[in-house]
Amino acid sequence: MYEQIAHSLLNSILSDLKEEIRQHQLQHFYTRLGANFYAIHSLFRLLYGERDDFAQQMHRLVETMARAYIARADALKEIDLARERDHSWFLDQRWVGMALYADGFAGNLQGVAEHLDYLHELGINLVHIMPIMRCPPGSSDGGYAVCDFRDIDPRLGTLDDLARLEAQMRAQGMLLTLDVVVNHTSDQHEWAQRARQGDAICQDYYHLFPNREMPDMYEAAMPEVFPDTSPGNFTWNEEMGKWVMTVFNNYQWDLNYRNPAVFIEMLDIIFYWANRGADVLRLDAVAFLWKRPGSVCQNEREAHLILQLFKDCCQVVAPGVLFIAEAIVAPTEVVKYFGEDAINAKECEIAYNATLMALLWDAVATQRTLLLNAGIRNIPSKLERATWLNYVRCHDDIGWGFADEDIIQAGYDPRAHRSFLVDYYTGHFPASNARGQAFAFNKRTGDARISGALASLAGLEVALEANDSAAIDSAIRTIQLLHAMILSFGGIPLLFYGDALGTLNDCSYLEDADKSMDNRWMHRPRLDWERAARRRQAGTPEFRIFTALRRLIALRKEIPAFADLNNRELHALDNPALFVFSRFDPRHGSPRILVAANFSLEAQALPLAPLRQQGFFRSGNARDVSSEETLRCDGDYLNIAGHGFLWLRDA
Ligand code: GLC
Ligand code: GLC
């Protein structure tokens, strides 16, 4: 887009660039900057246009981009060019991810490098290493309270270790995902320390208030993220004599994006990790980036403008790098983090599909797919060059964030239904064999979320204790079913380390004073490699789960219809226990796949007539790709075992 004001500003900025910058080979930088400058300028002006130093800040922004571009290694620039040519590369079904803690998985970064073969064996080729930046000793919210954004926590290794791991992963065709915690810093970060010493420049990096007037105004509308362990959204700091906005834990200070210096610093940190070879950056807590008194301070329009600006700037410097939005918000809000327009308002290419995750757990608890079907149907469609991160468990709790209207549409009362789910997953509901714990119980609203390892929530822990082989079978089937869903739904499946081995709750965190208050640690285990070796020992749960998932992953990669190309159709069938959708292949026209899942523990009949009407099973037979069995489909029904699923292709 050519617009005179922006263009003449760009010319003046470029001609002012220092000689040390201009002497570099900047051709691609210039072409990308030219293409994006109108958007960058407009967004920056929307956010900061009122300031006297706007032109100066704009100048700093461009200079920051130029320096980051110059620092980017040639090999990464080559990858950028290749990904520009094949810009939908990440929608392919061949990507399968896993999130892991370097220490929990293998001690440290070096350990991760030594265990890449395990990931290969399973078929993982995208690895999200949970936060590795330097944190203070003591509580650090699992690495999300960063005190140095440009260094690695010494407990996990060094920048050299990361470089070695990155090179090894790249050579093996694996993508590296790292976190950038853009919403807050640790109270031990240098900016916070200087703020406490009275440095006005650093005080402006945070939201600080001399008295309760503004905090009270904010609190009237803001929810609490950790109501039991960190109530309220502000923390009094004696040294400054000020209230600090701390939406998460009291040691996590929210950054003030009304200050353009904060935006530029954080953008530069994004570039820093992009230049260290991250293929994907997970932007943490993006819904919270902008605070407005009187609002819930989530999903504000400016939060989206900031993300658009991050994206536009990153496309100039490192266009091959993707963003993941971690926005665990209502379904209608989540899709906005992809951006609302592919050219003019793009944000993150990938977003956590927390809606699907919670709906799957709902279907397991109720043995009904009423809410699952309603909830999926009501997720608005996303941009084309965008994809979900589909997961069953992650390092966080499970929140029941589906829309109230969907719960009502499914025939339940929202409040009663959410409290049923908490009862169910904490094992308080009579028929439940789940063993989770309530997380972040809010006395005021009665809300609670759930912590617990996948296998324990699926009943494996109770079944193993009782030595009940039927119950063990059933839990293993549940684990397979849930993974079959994220592998076929459309999007990048993200497994959680430990889950492919049926890892149970780990209560050792209770002995660690820095963790004992936060029961999310019960599902962030230290992987036991001796137990992991049992994945080779037939008959063990580790073997059964691992081999089944490894197979499904390998199969997924061979099914082009599982790529995420806006190619899913839901099928409403007259059976409240089934979740049925089909996937087709718009690129090569390879066979459609009908995915049929039974969330009831009893066998169910899949009605065939309505599916035949939609063109399935014309030959009278279907092949279940997942079991490699051919099934006769000329009758009225097909049987699906309790917690079973089918991946059907016409035979
Ligand atoms: C994100 C992380 C979570 C953390 C929070 C605050 O939601 O996933 O673990 O507690 O941000 O950083
Ligand atoms: C984020 C999410 C919330 C999640 C929390 C970590 O704030 O919005 O759902 O549970 O981080 O616990």
Alpha-carbon 388 to chain mean position: 8
Confidence label for 3 from pLDDT (cuts 50, 70 and 90): confident
Antiparallel, parallel or unpaired: β 97-100 and 492-496: parallel
pLDDT of amino acid 344: 75
For residues 143-147, average pLDDT: 98
Pocket test for ligand 1, best of 144, 494, 520, 523 (most atoms within 8 A of CB): 144
Confidence label for 167 from pLDDT (cuts 50, 70 and 90): very high
- Which residue's CA is the nearest one to ligand 1's atom 7? 285
Helices in 504-647 by DSSP H: which ranges? 529-533, 541-557, 609-613
Q: How many A from CA of 298 to the centre of ligand 2?
A: 12
Confidence label for 23 from pLDDT (cuts 50, 70 and 90): confident
For residues 15-20, average pLDDT: 88
What H or E segment, with its residue span, contains residue 340?
strand 339-341
Work out the widest C-alpha separation in the chain, in whole angstroms.
Answer: 78
Render pLDDT for 397-450 as a digit per residue (tens, 0 to 9). Answer: 999 999 999 999 999 999 999 999 999 999 999 999 999 999 999 888 888 999
Whether the model clears a pTM of 0.85, i.e. scores above it, the answer is yes
Supply the mean pLDDT for the chain.
96
Is residue 179 in contact with ligand 1, taking CB distance under 6 Å?
no
For residues 573-592, average pLDDT: 96
- 510 token code pair: 């209770």
pLDDT of amino acid 374: 96
Write down the CATH number for the domain with range 89-185+259-560. Answer: 3.20.20.80
What H or E segment, with its residue span, contains residue 63?
helix 54-71
Q: How many A from CA of 144 to the centre of ligand 1?
A: 6
Render pLDDT for 520-567 as a digit per residue (tens, 0 to 9). Answer: 999 999 999 999 999 999 999 999 999 999 999 999 999 999 999 999
Q: How many A from CA of 48 to the centre of ligand 2?
A: 29
Class of domain 563-650: mainly beta
What string of H, E and C letters represents the secondary structure of 413-447? Answer: CHHHHHHHHHHHHCCCCCCCCCCCEEECCCCCCCC
Pocket test for ligand 2, best of 139, 141, 183, 225 (most atoms within 8 A of CB): 225
Least distant ligand from the CA of 225: 2
For residues 126-145, average pLDDT: 97
Can you tell me which residue has the tokens 């089934």? 578
Is residue 650 in contact with ligand 1, taking CB distance under 6 Å?
no
Q: Which atom of ligand 2 is found nearest the CA of 328?
A: 8
Q: Are 331 and 405 in contact (CB under 8 A)?
A: no
- Give which of 458, 481, 474 is closest to 645, Cα–Cα: 481
Is residue 305 in contact with ligand 2, taking CB distance under 6 Å?
no
Q: Which segment of 163-177, 431-445, 463-477 scores lowest on mean pLDDT? A: 431-445
Query: Is residue 470 over pLDDT 80?
Result: yes
Domain boundaries of the chain, sorted by first residue: 89-185+259-560, 186-254, 563-650
Q: What is the CB-side half-sphere exposure of residue 164 using CA atoms within 13 A?
A: 13
Cα separation, 370 vs 410, whole angstroms: 5
Position with higher pLDDT, 18 vs 99 = 99
Pocket test for ligand 2, best of 288, 324, 397 (most atoms within 8 A of CB): 397
- Which residue's CA is the nearest one to ligand 1's atom 10? 141
Least distant ligand from the CA of 181: 1
Angle, alpha carbons 384-385-386 (nearest 5°): 95
Cα separation, 509 vs 3, whole angstroms: 57
Least distant ligand from the CA of 358: 2
Query: Is residue 504 over pLDDT 90?
Result: yes
Neighbouring residues of 624: CB distance < 8 A, sequence distance ≥ 6 = 630, 631, 646, 647, 648
Is residue 542 in contact with ligand 1, taking CB distance under 6 Å?
no
- Which residue's CA is the nearest one to ligand 2's atom 2? 328
Least distant ligand from the CA of 325: 1
Write down the CATH number for the domain with range 186-254. Answer: 3.90.400.10
Q: How many A from CA of 354 to the centre of ligand 1?
A: 14
Q: How many A from CA of 258 to the centre of ligand 2?
A: 23
Is residue 142 in contact with ligand 1, taking CB distance under 6 Å?
yes
For residues 20-43, average pLDDT: 93
- Which residue's CA is the nearest one to ligand 1's atom 9? 396
Is residue 399 in contact with ligand 1, taking CB distance under 6 Å?
no
Q: Are 353 and 491 in contact (CB under 8 A)?
A: yes
Cα separation, 102 vs 526, whole angstroms: 10
Percent of the chain that is helix, strand, coil (3-state, to 5):
45, 15, 40
pLDDT of amino acid 22: 86
Query: Is residue 393 over pLDDT 80?
Result: yes
φ and ψ at residue 211, rounded to 5 degrees:
-145, -170
pLDDT of amino acid 32: 97
Render pLDDT for 308-338 as a digit per residue (tens, 0 to 9). Answer: 999 999 999 999 999 999 999 999 999 999 9
Active site (catalytic) residues: 284, 326
Q: Which atom of ligand 2 is found nearest the CA of 401?
A: 9
Is residue 396 in contact with ligand 2, taking CB distance under 6 Å?
yes
- Which residue's CA is the nearest one to ligand 1's atom 8? 396
CA dihedral sign of residues 281, 326, 396, 269:
positive
Query: Is residue 304 over pLDDT 80?
Result: yes
